[in-house]
Amino acid sequence: MAKLRFEKRMSDQDALMWAIEKDPLLRSTITSVTLLETRPDHERFAAQIEHASREIPRLRQRVVSAPFGISAPEFAIDPNFDIDYHVRYQRAPGDGTVRDLFDFAAPFAMSGFDRARPLWEFIIIDDLADGGSALVQKMHHSLTDGVGAMKLSMAFLDTTPEGKPLGPLPGEPEPETPEPMRMIREGVERETRRAMGIASRIPGQLARNLANPVESAKGLGELAGSTARMLRPVSEPFSPIMTGRSLSVRFDCLTASLPEMKAAAKTVDGKLNDAFVAGVAGGLRRYHDKHGATVDELRMTMPINIRSDTDEIVAGNQFVPARFAFPISIEDPAERMRAIHKLVDTQRHEKAMGIVDPISGVLNRLPLTLTTGLLGSMLKAIDVVTSNVPGAPMPLYIAGSRMQANFGFGPLSGAASNVTLLSYIDELHIAVSTDPAAVPDPELFVECLRDGLDEVAALGS
């Protein structure tokens, strides 16, 4: 299994997500709700997390901002780390139904992190109505993306009920208090190296441009156009009904058959993601039809994974947030999948995809109010976020209890809705987050999504 690499400093992209939370609508909290068959062994779980917190630096690190914003924030071992703050246990709320569980998890996800502590919290919920338990987790998106989060979670997930031996408990990491002058000095050095690196590439690039001026001009024009599309200001969502925004969120869930959805995608030589997004599009068309609103297309954000297939995984975010209009008015599900496949493929080959971190670096150096306003106007005009995270193909266990389902609720970050797919064995667990101001009838919204997904799955059954 690939190793995780932890950088000392946030990337510019991670730092941007951290900074724009000046607007609370743009909070980027990842929340997951894992349903467990039985009550997990609390002592064993506590031991696993304690062990993991000593082996995985990020679990004990807080964020320390550089003076004057001279560079991206750093991660430093928290001298006041208290594992009892980060891992808690309680009985199920209400009647212990999944609906009660989601209604508990939503405000937990909405509450901001204590920025003086590491940016994660776990709660074990026992005594659910079916006799099982649940693990509710939240983590700040500036720490990692969905792929990195899955890798981190392997520290407390097992492939057998007995679990793996933990081995000797490692020593506690030494607390760190970054020295401001050192951070300023290193920040200046980092920015100087960056500027010199850019300058050193100019002569070679200039020579290539002179050798082939037509192709060079074409390439620069394509890059400029791609960057303009990525940063194009928008102010209003395409949906005429999902227009409201608030600080609240509602959690719901759906399940689908992984083999059926893969088979459906195969009928048009597509991928699982094409079938998933086509199902979401069909559901959104139904929802708008129910409200008497005819819409040809909506605006979507889709994180596109840019991790390389190496033996090492960077713990931070390695995705590009593609933002584009997608069709919902195509009634034939096969034709809709073909259109989605072509559209997403186009997004994957946008030239600006390769310069997201430099773009983030420029935005980080603008006044925070200007950056937050610019990105806020763009993100609040998103109708839906879709995300597809590959999960485990085999049964998993947490402290002796088998995992029945795992729903990963992605952040709204200003959007009206977020639909995130997480695979597990032969099922697709689909987490649906909606802003009540945009979707006041979530039961209808979920019913329409279910119909849209079932329509696509029927092609593969």
Q: Which residues are catalytic?
A: 141
Rounded Cα–Cα distance for residues 403 and 385 (Å): 26
Q: CA angle at residue 361 from 358 to 363, to 5 degrees?
A: 115
Name residue 133's beta-bridge partners: 36
The single-letter code of the amino acid at 127 is: D
CA distance 30 to 273: 20
Q: Looking at the DSSP assignment, which residues form a beta bridge with residue 323?
A: 301
Give the pair of three-digit tokens for residue 113.
Answer: 């992190």
Placement of tokens 């609508």 in the chain: 25
Query: What is the CA angle 208-209-210, rounded to 5?
Result: 90
* Residue 100, both tokens: 């009660």
Q: How far is CA 239 from the centre of its chain?
A: 23
Instruction: List the beta bridge partners of residue 300.
Output: 324, 384
C-alpha R_g of the chain: 23
**What does each C-alpha distance from 439 to 250, 411, 458 come to in angstroms?**
9, 15, 27
Relative to beta strand 250-257, strand 427-434 is antiparallel
> Measuring CA to CA, which residue among 131, 155, 130 is closest to residue 39?
131
The full DSSP string for 32-65 is EEEEESS---HHHHHHHHHHHHHH-GGGGEEEEP
Angle between helix 356-364 and 368-379 (nearest 10): 130
CB-CB contact of 276 with 338 (8 Å): no
Residue type, 142: S
CA–CA distance, 213 with 1 (Å, rounded to integer): 46
